[in-house]
Amino acid sequence: MPLLILFLAIGVQIFLTAKKVSPFLSLLIVSVLTGFLMGMEPSAELISIEKGVDSTLCGLALIICLEP
């Protein structure tokens, strides 16, 4: 079942990208739907999304700041 949910999430992401939805919004929508379908509790889902965004922005901030 988790593999089916993964393929569904990839399909939704491709669909939203084709419809020119904002990349941030499409990733947020897909992550919330995937967490819900996998049976995560809402509080755990929010913490997981927060950690993912935090780690991505931290790495991106370093690249932007260190670029000449």
Alpha carbons 5 and 47: distance in angstroms, whole number: 20
Which residues are within 8 A (CB) of 36 and not within 5 positions of it... i.e. 6 or more apart? Answer: 45
Structure tokens at 34: 């995937």
Best-predicted range by mean pLDDT (41-45, 46-50, 53-57): 41-45
Q: List pLDDT tens digits, range 8-47.
A: 999 999 999 999 998 889 988 999 999 999 999 999 998 9
Alpha carbons 24 and 56: distance in angstroms, whole number: 12
**Are the beta carbons of 9 and 34 closer than 8 angstroms?**
yes
- All structural domains of the chain with their residue ranges: 2-66
Which residues are within 8 A (CB) of 49 and not within 5 positions of it... i.e. 6 or more apart? Answer: 28, 31, 32, 35
